[in-house]
Structure formats: C-alpha cells, structure tokens
C-alpha cells in the first residue's frame, strides 16, 4: 500500500455520486422503496448483529460506525452527508450487520430496501462499478485506520482526526466540532484526558486556536508533519 493511503482518517472517503449512473425508472424504483428517517443525536441507526434489510444513505448529518465489545467499542469511521453505508450487506451470504451505527448529531438517513437495491445493482453495470469503487475505498480506509492505531503515536492520531474534520467534513481550517472531547478521544483511540492535554499543547505551540467547540488550524503544514511522522 502506498504510504499516502495510510491515513488514520475516520471520515468516509466516498461522497456518493453513484446515483448519477441511474436512469429515471431506476431512480423511481429506489425512491418508491425507500424512506427517510430522522435520528436524534445519540440514537442508534443500526445495531451490530441485527438482520440486514436495507442499504443506508446519509442525507444530512454525522454518524459513527463502530464495533462493540464487552469492555469498549472501536470506531471504524464517521459518515457525513451524501454517503452510502451498510454496503457490506450487498452479498446474499451476509445477512447480519457487522457493526453498529449511531448518530453524532441529528441526522436524516434514507433507508433503501435491500432487495430493490440488489435488483438495480444487477441491472446497471455502471452503477455496480461505482458501488465496487466505494467498497474498495472503504477497504483502503479501514486498512489505513488500523495502520494509524497500531503504528502511530498519540500526537499523530489526534492530528489525523483534526485534519479529517478540516479536509473531509468542513473543507475549512476554521470549524465547529459537533462532538464532545470524549468522542474526539474515542475516534483517535485515546483517553479523554490525553486528548485534552494534547490539545492544550497544540494551542501552546501555535498549531491551533480553540474556543469551546470552535477549532481553527493555524499551522496546517506543521499539523500535517505530525500526522505524517506519527
């Protein structure tokens, strides 16, 4: 794997353009077999181990994808606007959800009937190729995520997370993080105390300016160097 792909970014890489490959009849078929559900902050969108019945599309909001265990959970990635998720369920041999998803903020999620989605997938080769590309991007991202968690030091992990927010959600070096410090710690694979201490150090060194939930990156190059070196 190219070193540039070994990013710890948790933000989904694949903002969806696959629906542009559908004709009017296919779009109507999917819409007729879909419903948009509003999930409140903290509400579970789908539960690990439950039976699969739908493909999900984040219309607007932010959610986390995570694997649960008895002691703690491991966050795999975050899902922002205009992203498909639950694509692991396309295979007819996989009838259970392999992870949980919950809303970080109030989120609108389109639930698409799985059987209908599979029908369109089998009929439209260009659409199917777009979905394959999304799955490939997801695999690369998860590989990079585990590389980050197992090889990078704490400062590199936190730098990765901050760059993710700047580059893949807000597209700005000045943004309001809609999650708690504990959530930020969970995403980075760190403790909340460690994240608070590191954020203080980043501000003291002139990398960041923080005012409550507002973050402003002051030295992007330095933060990227910390991310690269881990």
What pLDDT is recorded for position 50? 92
**Order of strands across the sheet with 214-217?**
174-176, 214-217, 208-211
User: Domain of 169: which CATH number?
Assistant: 1.10.10.10
Task: Residue 75: give the domain boundaries.
Answer: 3-148
Q: How far apart are CA 5 and CA 109, in angstroms?
A: 29
Do 92 and 21 share a structural domain? yes
Do 117 and 46 share a structural domain? yes
Q: How far apart are CA 160 and CA 5, in angstroms?
A: 12
Do 179 and 86 share a structural domain? no
Mean pLDDT taken over the chain: 87
Residue 90 burial by Cβ neighbours in a 10 Å radius (0-12, 13-18, 19+): middle
Do 125 and 79 share a structural domain? yes
Q: Considering 105, 132, 148, which residue would you say is the last residue of a domain?
A: 148
Each residue of 53-85: pLDDT tens digit? 999 999 999 999 998 877 777 888 889 888 999
| Integer CA distances (angstroms), 148 to 28, 49, 160, 185, 229, in order | 41, 27, 9, 14, 11
**Order of strands across the sheet with 54-60?**
34-39, 107-113, 54-60, 83-85
User: Domain of 88: which CATH number?
Assistant: 2.60.120.10
Q: How far apart are CA 84 and CA 190, in angstroms?
A: 27
pLDDT band at 121 (very low <50, low <70, confident <90, very high): very high
Within 8 A by CB and 6+ apart from 220, the residues are 166, 173
Q: How far apart are CA 50 and CA 130, in angstroms?
A: 26
Do 161 and 137 share a structural domain? no
Q: How far apart are CA 97 and CA 49, in angstroms?
A: 5
Do 186 and 138 share a structural domain? no
Do 162 and 128 share a structural domain? no
Do 138 and 65 share a structural domain? yes
Q: Considering 148, 174, 205, which residue would you say is the last residue of a domain?
A: 148
Do 133 and 77 share a structural domain? yes
What pLDDT is recorded for position 69? 77
Each residue of 9-33: pLDDT tens digit? 555 544 578 899 999 999 999 999 9
| Domain total of the chain | 2
What pLDDT is recorded for position 107? 97
Do 207 and 101 share a structural domain? no
Each residue of 128-159: pLDDT tens digit? 999 998 888 887 777 777 777 777 889 999 99
Q: Considering 148, 163, 195, which residue would you say is the last residue of a domain?
A: 148
Do 130 and 88 share a structural domain? yes
* Radius of gyration of the chain, Cα coordinates, nearest whole angstrom: 18
Do 144 and 77 share a structural domain? yes
Residue 26 burial by Cβ neighbours in a 10 Å radius (0-12, 13-18, 19+): middle
């Amino acid at each position: 794997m190219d070193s540039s792909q070994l990013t710890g970014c948790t933000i989904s890489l694949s903002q969806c353009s696959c629906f542009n490959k559908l004709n009017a009849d296919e779009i109507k078929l999917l819409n007729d077999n879909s419903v948009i559900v509003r999930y409140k902050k903290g509400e579970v969108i789908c539960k690990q181990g439950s039976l699969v019945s739908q493909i999900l599309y984040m219309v607007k909001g932010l959610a986390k994808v995570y694997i649960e265990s008895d002691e703690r959970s491991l966050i795999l990635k975050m899902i922002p606007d205009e992203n498909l998720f639950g694509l692991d369920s396309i295979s007819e041999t996989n009838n259970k959800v392999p992870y949980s998803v919950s809303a970080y903020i109030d989120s609108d999620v389109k639930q698409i009937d799985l059987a209908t989605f599979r029908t369109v997938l089998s009929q439209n080769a260009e659409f199917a190729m777009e979905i394959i590309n999304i799955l490939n991007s997801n695999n690369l991202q998860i590989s990079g995520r585990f590389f980050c968690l197992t090889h990078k030091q704490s400062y590199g992990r936190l730098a990765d997370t901050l760059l993710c927010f700047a580059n893949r959600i807000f597209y700005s070096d000045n943004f309001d993080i809609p999650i708690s410090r504990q959530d930020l710690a969970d995403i980075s694979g760190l403790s909340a105390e460690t994240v608070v201490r590191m954020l203080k150090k980043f501000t003291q060194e002139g990398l960041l300016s923080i005012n409550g939930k507002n973050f402003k990156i002051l030295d992007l190059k330095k933060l990227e160097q910390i991310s690269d070196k881990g």
